[in-house]
Amino acid sequence: MTSRALILGCAGKSLSAEEAAFFRDARPWGFILFKRNIGTPDEVRALTDSLRNCIGRETAPILIDQEGGRVQRMGPPHWPAYPAGGRYGRLNGSAATIARLGARLMAHDLAEVGINVDCAPVLDVPAPGSHDIIGDRAYGTNPNSVAAIGRAMAEGLMAGGVLPVMKHIPGHGRAACDSHHGLPIVEASRETLAAQDFRPFQALADLPMAMSAHVVFTAIDPERPATQSAAVIREVIRGAIGFDGLLMTDDLSMHALTGTFRERAERAFAAGIDVALHCNGAMDEMRAVAETAPLLAGRAAERANAALAHLDPADDSLDVPEARAQFAAALAAA
């Protein structure tokens, strides 16, 4: 049965009967979990199993934001605390090696409970004076270093059987406000953006999935945020950056976007987004997004299938206790 071009959240640690019936009917391509959904490892595994059972697809993507630092949905006491991305950026020559190991361990944690997609790496390059919504989530301020560490993170996740989602394409690093609460407007020239902000995404354009930025780039489209801008998606994301993988929105419930939820989704799909992401689990909002989301077909379906084709079983060579000890020692020494 064909999926809809949707990724949806749920309200709690287990599904209500209403949620299960809605998901069965809406047939989203995938789901996303947040801290409100995380209990014990057994509870998370039961939830991921329930979500997949609703739509009858054993390999349905289940996403989470597990970056480390302040954006880590699974943490103590059941899972380790991982460092923020900025910590890797301060490790100089060992950054990529340690980041890859950290991501491999994260992938182990996620795969054990049925999560197969991580919304990382963060490839945004913070600029002076920007809002700290990115801040220490970024791997640094040099686009080449950000790309190298981002590549290592992606490789570590994929080695552990988890797909990466690079974000927030084409770049959130210059935003002067938090897009959860308002619409950032970036007035940098296209040349400046190309030299700094776009470069890490360009370097990792072969990755299978990316998440859009709810940011207006006045040099490209002064009226619409990237998520809803055909010019940004066509000319920059698909064009200058060269990304041809699955493009999903950032969360449609963020206040950077305006209009009804049906309108938010319609504008994103009209601009060229492949899959709409709605995260907060509010049933009335999800129904509105689902009503306008198309079936996953054509080029979007090809990109979705190509992304899942990158989902390989984890390599079985990792000694997890030894790797955790190595990771802790490497961070301490650096």
Which residues are marked as active site? Answer: 180, 250
Alpha carbon of residue 16 to chain centroid: 26
Instruction: Report the C-alpha gap between 213 and 170 in whole angstroms.
Output: 7
The CA-based angle 50-166-182, given to 5 degrees, is 90
Alpha carbon of residue 208 to chain centroid: 11
The CA-based angle 274-277-280, given to 5 degrees, is 175
Strand segments, DSSP code E, in 143-264 are 163-164, 166-169, 185-186, 209-212, 216-217, 246-248
Calculate helix-pair angle for 95-112, 320-333, nearest 10 degrees.
140
Instruction: Report the C-alpha gap between 150 and 202 in whole angstroms.
Output: 12
User: What are the structure tokens assigned to 153, written together?
Assistant: 């993170």
Calculate helix-pair angle for 41-55, 17-26, nearest 10 degrees.
40
DSSP codes of every residue in 68-117: ETTEESS-TTTS-----HHHHHTSGGGHHHHHHHHHHHHHHHHHHTT--E
Beta 71-72 vs 66-68: how paired, if at all? antiparallel
Instruction: Report the C-alpha gap between 181 and 205 in whole angstroms.
Output: 29
The percent helix, strand, coil of the chain (3-state, each to 5) is 45, 15, 45
Q: Is the peptide bond before 76 cis (omega within 30 degrees of 0)?
A: no
With tokens 């802790």, the residue in question is 328
